[in-house]
């Protein structure tokens, strides 16, 4: 069961990054944003499932908190793009958070 959750979780992260790029470069359409939000839910549900199976280790709880912050940053990037505001700082935050989260997930940290 853990392997199913892990593969779903990792796959949803990859798809989320792709959907973020699509949503950023095509701000007028709404379908990619709705699918992106569906994958947020899949990612959160599978992450909580894995956390419960592992016994809630502190490092992975921190990873979950950072992932929720990353979801907020992704939403702000898309929202600011629709309003034609600057997103440079948010992209830097997004990339840094994504690298930290991936590093924790693959036990590089």
Give tens-digit pLDDT for 49-85: 999 999 999 999 999 999 999 999 999 999 999 998 9
E strands present in 1-83? none
* Residue 107 φ/ψ, nearest 5 degrees: 60, 35
Would the pLDDT of 29 be above 90?
no
The Cα–Cα gap between 51 and 48 comes to 5
**Full-model pTM:** 0.90
Would the pLDDT of 46 be above 90?
yes
Answer whether 104's CB lies under 8 Å from 62's CB: yes
What pLDDT was estimated at residue 54?
A: 92
Structural domains counted in the chain: 1
The lowest-confidence range among 29-33, 45-49, 74-78 is 29-33
Angle between helices 2-25 and 88-105 (to 10 degrees): 170
Answer whether 64's CB lies under 8 Å from 20's CB: no
Residue 27 pLDDT grade (very low, low, confident, very high; cuts 50, 70, 90): confident
Domain that residue 42 falls in: 2-105
What pLDDT was estimated at residue 67?
A: 95
The Cα–Cα gap between 109 and 90 comes to 23
């Amino acid at each position: 069961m853990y392997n199913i959750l892990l593969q779903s979780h990792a796959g949803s992260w990859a798809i989320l990054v792709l959907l973020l790029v699509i949503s950023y470069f095509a701000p007028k359409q709404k379908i990619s944003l709705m699918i992106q939000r569906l994958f947020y839910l899949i990612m959160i549900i599978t992450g909580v499932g894995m956390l419960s199976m592992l016994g809630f280790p502190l490092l992975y709880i921190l990873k979950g908190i950072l992932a929720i912050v990353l979801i907020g940053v992704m939403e702000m990037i898309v929202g600011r793009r629709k309003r034609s505001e600057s997103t440079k700082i948010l992209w830097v935050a997004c990339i840094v958070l994504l690298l930290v989260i991936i590093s924790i997930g693959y036990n590089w940290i």
